[in-house]
Structure 1
Amino acid sequence: MSIGLFRAPTPVNEPVRTYAPGSPERASLKAELARQSGLEVEAAPIVAGRPVHTGDTSPMVMPHDHRHRLGVFHKASAAEVHAAIDAAQAARPEWAALPWEERASVFLRAAALLRGPWRDRLNAATMLGQSKTAHQAEIDAACELIDFWSFNVQYLTEIMADQPLSPTGTWNRVEYRPLDGFVFAVSPFNFTSIAGNLPTAPALIGNTVVWKPASTSVLSGHVIMELLHEAGLPPGVINFLPGSGPAVGDPVLADSRLAGVHFTGSTDVFHGVWRTVGENIARYHQYPRLVGETGGKDFVFVHQSADVDTVVTALLRGAFEFQGQKCSAASRAYVPDTLWPKIRAGLGDGLAQIQMGDVADFRNFMGAVIDARSYAKLTGAVNEAKASVGKGVQEVLGGEHDDARGWFLGPSVIVATDPRYRTMCEELFGPVLTIYVYPAAEYAQTLDLCDSTSPYGLTGAVFARDRRAAHQALVRLRHAAGNFYVNDKPTGAVVGQQPFGGTRASGTNDKAGSAQNLGRWISARTIKETFDPPRRFSYPFMDEE
């Protein structure tokens, strides 16, 4: 029981380390990269705190050197899924009964460990297993995950402090309970921080979780589980189930005790989850909470008053950092014909300077795309665009590719003459930017075109020095992006500063990194206590004159 009204430590965004030449953090991270490169890790499902070696294994490789095995992971089957659900249910009463500050302490300790001795380990695992550069790993696996664990505690205290009015003689209060069942967390490969937040945000409230990581990021997920164990997370609170989507997802969604789904991934997969939950709705003990952040076809809209250098920098960073494998990555741009010659020249210069290769070589701006399937899809789109010059495409800049050693696709810029060319509309999830050059005089009409071209509504940006133009974009594109940027690239949301999420085909917009998301894992109970209750049933109006 709690015997005080405790105030959690005030969260502060974790400073981003630079890893500049000669810095101690650079030397330390390089040493950890070398150490992990020489290991072969055996990861496995973790059920009730114990690893389960199923014998059905899959290799973990470096995307930028796919002949280099980082280890193997054992894949979960239906048997491990059922055991994990049972473990989550068994752990739930004791975990939910813990005072909130005890649960919070686990994740605050996890943040402190990641801030210190675990930082290099998780960053290196992310770099090697997901082909992130040092900077991309730092802002993701270290800083953002530290922020999630720190700020979520603050959000929980704010939520619990929201209490109703109590008239004289009455005490009204609200309990913020966990859901009545288990939560299924499904995380993507591209952000280690998301993988860490999806299971732990519900767990902070008192929920227990079954977590399926992406098969291409099991290594970093394995490290997160070890870190949480070190931080004191009790067995069974989060159960880790790497494996195929159907092998894990089908039995989870069929279980009547499902209380919620915390999902980040493709729109098509989330459609399938929602459909399955709908089909099973009568068998669940409660209506499951569905929280999903899905795809994006994120735009940069350039007004003729924009500064060319800032536009070029935003496009190069927004489209090609982490090989464009961000749901927020700039993947389509609208550029006025008055600025296009200068912007094209700047892009050409930038593409020529971008280096791509092994992320352990800190001179490289890009690594490899995540796997062979992604490589085939992306190179197919680039080659199709090259073959479509004169038929909806004006030219293709860059686009060199080679998979002999790693799945490398260089930064690719498709200049489309058809504003609804395929790569202006469809999410590719890679280093492919499509640009439509519009008549500067048709700014308003082209804003409407941007709004209607894609089914997504995740992130977008407008570049304009003319304030009227910027405001016009804010109004006309109000529902085209859940995170909107003015004179900045559409990537890089920070916990506590830009709560993240979108609508339309981009998800439920429950804003990761905010109290809004945390509230989805709460089932509130209102309590009314009357100190002097009435002692007869009749009311004064019933008395005789």
Structure 2
Amino acid sequence: MGQNLWINGESVECDNYRPLFNPFNGEKIADVAEASKEDVIKAIDSAAGAAVTMAEMDAHKRSDILRRVAELIQEDRDECARLIAEESSKPLKAARGEVDRTIMTYRFASEEARRLHGETIPMDAAPGGEGRVAYTVREPLGVIAAITPFNFPMNLVAHKVGPAIAAGNTVVLKPASQTPLSAYKIASYFHEAGLPAGALNVVTGSGKSVGDVLIADDRVKMVTFTGSPEVGKHIRENAGLKRVTLELGSNSALIVDEGTDLKKVMPRIVTGAFSNQGQVCISIQRIFVHEAIAAEFVSLFIEEAGKLKVGDPLDEQTDLAAMISGYDVTRAKAWIQAAVENGAELVYGGDSERQILKPTVLLNAKLTDKISCEEVFAPVVHINTFNHFADAIAKANDSKYGLQAGVYTNDLQKAMQAAKKLHVGGVMINEIPTFRVDHMPYGGVKMSGTGREGIKYALEEMTELKLVSIKLD
């Protein structure tokens, strides 16, 4: 099938198409439109033209559109999950979980559209402010460029499109090249739900041909991006005075203190390490275990990892399937090999079959190894030990990233110490760093990005605050 662009409420043909292949079996899924610079400008024209309509649309109407989108996805839940599994190789049961989260994200957006409000300001709190009433309102920015990754092709689209529409903005969406069909599917639901033409446009193509045009156009008032730090840095340096939200990389750490019930928590930890082939921004990559329980931890971790079923993403029983590209398999294996040559011990996995990299466990990798200090974005973890809890925090902080971290401990003082001293955007106590629900504030520090997602918090990023002051006499 041929997948056209979606501009101004219509399916639009373009000059070039490229084949899209299933990462697991290599079968061709579709031919996908490759937008030219002129196509992207048409999409921006369309979004700019619809901006006044969206800004003037009543909040309850925006809310109803978002609620209807959630209902349409719910009706097509299995179809949406299969689409995600086919284009991204996400195992079907995980894909269903993503669809359910996507539904919830649009429901939250629907609710927040009705709650978008300002506050009254007590002007007489300052001398000279007497006899005045003042209040704030939040107004939409206008055109928002949303650039999304492959690993959650529906829910991470929802985290950008949902709050943008809730706030009364218009959107030009560039989905990841490997997972465009999920985004076009969402556009069809918005169209069916009654979103005005031009309010959501979807254009596919390379970052150079699409992303750079979006960043350069002065009519685009905000760029919201999830992806690599290198691209995020490029966006930040070239976006001028545009509002920019960046959700970038991580090498999330988990600290496991002595006294932790390892048998109880181990299935959760293994899930956090290997779900979606480790291709999750907050996937567990570095584990620091108290030396008193390290031997038992490693034994139980490997035993639990051995229970994972590796194979076809469309098999209901599959836990781990193909990575997004052959290049990523090769890269991850090279990093594993380099760590082993540098003294790390490979105790489980490490081999691959086609684009499937088996769950991999390393012991005592150096914190300077790429497998530790860079984002591996693969089903690979390394386990190191600590003696003093403060040392574990220091090791976790020894990173250029800071998205989320997890800590298992029964000691309240240590929990509070971790909450205070871990330099990350989110500290998960007695939970894996991979935990996220869709209304919580989510984002990082250092090279993990700027700004926050989570519908209420994204709405703040996607609106301008205006003060209105009235002199009463």
TM superposition score category, shorter chain reference: over 0.9
Match of 1:183 among 121, 134, 144: 144
CA offset digits 1:110-160 (Å, max 9, x no partner): 112222x222221111111111223321222x2222222221233343331
State the AA in 1 paired with 2:348.
L
Alignment pair present for 1:86 and 2:48? no
Q: How far apart are residue 417 of structure 1 and its match? A: 4.7
Match of 2:36 among 53, 77, 101: 77
Alignment pair present for 1:259 and 2:216? no
In structure 1, C-alpha distance between the alignment counterparts of 2:382 and 2:119, rounded to whole Å: 46
Q: Is the 1:164–1:173 Cα contact (8 Å) retained in structure 2?
A: yes
Alignment pair present for 1:491 and 2:452? no
- Matching residue of 2:449: 507
Q: How far apart are residue 316 of structure 1 and its match? A: 1.0
Q: How far apart are residue 169 of structure 1 and its match? A: 6.2
Match of 2:274 among 316, 320, 328: 320
Match of 2:378 among 411, 430, 454: 430
In structure 1, C-alpha distance between the alignment counterparts of 2:385 and 2:469, rounded to whole Å: 62
Q: Is the 2:338–2:369 Cα contact (8 Å) retained in structure 1?
A: no
- Matching residue of 1:52: 12
| 417 and 151 in structure 1: CA distance in 2 versus 1, 3 angstrom threshold | closer
In structure 2, C-alpha distance between the alignment counterparts of 1:525 and 1:336, rounded to whole Å: 51
Q: How far apart are residue 418 of structure 1 and its match? A: 2.5
SS at match of 1:51: strand
Q: How far apart are residue 244 of structure 1 and its match? A: 0.3
| 418 and 375 in structure 1: CA distance in 2 versus 1, 3 angstrom threshold | closer
In structure 2, C-alpha distance between the alignment counterparts of 1:376 and 1:222, rounded to whole Å: 30
Q: Is the 1:311–1:343 Cα contact (8 Å) retained in structure 2?
A: no
- Matching residue of 1:397: 348
In structure 1, C-alpha distance between the alignment counterparts of 2:391 and 2:321, rounded to whole Å: 38
In structure 2, C-alpha distance between the alignment counterparts of 1:136 and 1:316, rounded to whole Å: 14
Q: Is the 1:316–1:350 Cα contact (8 Å) retained in structure 2?
A: yes
Alignment pair present for 1:527 and 2:473? no
- Matching residue of 2:159: 197
Q: How does 1:277-292 map to 2 (within 5 A)?
A: 277=239, 281=240, 287-292=241-246
Q: Is the 1:482–1:509 Cα contact (8 Å) retained in structure 2?
A: no
SS at match of 2:285: strand
State the AA in 1 paired with 2:380.
V
State the AA in 1 paired with 2:362.
I
CA offset digits 1:327-382 (Å, max 9, x no partner): 01001111122212111211221232211111221121111111122222122222
Q: How does 1:47-196 map to 2 (within 5 A)?
A: 47-66=7-26, 68-115=27-74, 117-140=75-98, 142-160=99-117, 162-165=119-122, 170-179=132-141, 181-191=142-152, 192-196=154-158
Q: How far apart are residue 189 of structure 1 and its match? A: 0.6
Q: Is the 1:415–1:436 Cα contact (8 Å) retained in structure 2?
A: yes
In structure 2, C-alpha distance between the alignment counterparts of 1:74 and 1:257, rounded to whole Å: 24
SS at match of 1:216: coil
CA offset digits 1:246-301 (Å, max 9, x no partner): 00011222212221011111111100000112xxx3xxxxx311111111110111
In structure 1, C-alpha distance between the alignment counterparts of 2:117 and 2:327, rounded to whole Å: 45
SS at match of 2:197: coil
Match of 2:172 among 197, 210, 231: 210
CA offset digits 1:432-488 (Å, max 9, x no partner): 1111123x2x33223212212x111111111112323322322321x2x21211222
- Specify the structure having the higher radius of gyration (Cα): 1
State the AA in 2 paired with 1:51.
S
| 173 and 465 in structure 1: CA distance in 2 versus 1, 3 angstrom threshold | closer
- Matching residue of 1:482: 425
- Matching residue of 1:240: 202
% identical equivalent positions: 28
In structure 2, C-alpha distance between the alignment counterparts of 1:122 and 1:332, rounded to whole Å: 33
Q: How does 1:31-50 map to 2 (within 5 A)?
A: 41-50=1-10
SS at match of 2:28: strand
State the AA in 1 paired with 2:391.
Q
How many residue pairs are counted as aligned between the two chains? 467
- Matching residue of 1:461: 406
Match of 2:369 among 421, 434, 444: 421
In structure 2, C-alpha distance between the alignment counterparts of 1:374 and 1:422, rounded to whole Å: 14
State the AA in 1 paired with 2:4.
A
SS at match of 2:302: helix
Q: Is the 1:63–1:131 Cα contact (8 Å) retained in structure 2?
A: yes
Q: Is the 1:76–1:247 Cα contact (8 Å) retained in structure 2?
A: yes
- Matching residue of 1:4: none
Q: Is the 2:118–2:135 Cα contact (8 Å) retained in structure 1?
A: no
Q: Is the 1:187–1:264 Cα contact (8 Å) retained in structure 2?
A: yes
CA offset digits 1:86-133 (Å, max 9, x no partner): 111111112211112112211111112222x22222111111111122
- Matching residue of 2:360: 412
Instruction: Name the TM-score, length of structure 2 as normaliser.
Output: 0.94
In structure 1, C-alpha distance between the alignment counterparts of 2:291 and 2:135, rounded to whole Å: 60
Q: Is the 1:170–1:530 Cα contact (8 Å) retained in structure 2?
A: yes
In structure 2, C-alpha distance between the alignment counterparts of 1:464 and 1:88, rounded to whole Å: 50
SS at match of 2:466: strand
Alignment pair present for 1:341 and 2:295? yes
Q: Any gaps of 5 or more consecutive residues in structure 2? A: 125-129
In structure 1, C-alpha distance between the alignment counterparts of 2:218 and 2:262, rounded to whole Å: 56
Q: Is the 1:185–1:211 Cα contact (8 Å) retained in structure 2?
A: yes
In structure 2, C-alpha distance between the alignment counterparts of 1:433 and 1:507, rounded to whole Å: 23
Alignment pair present for 1:249 and 2:211? yes
SS at match of 2:19: strand
Say what the alpha-carbon RMSD is for the aligned residues.
Answer: 1.9
- Matching residue of 2:127: none
State the AA in 2 paired with 1:183.
I
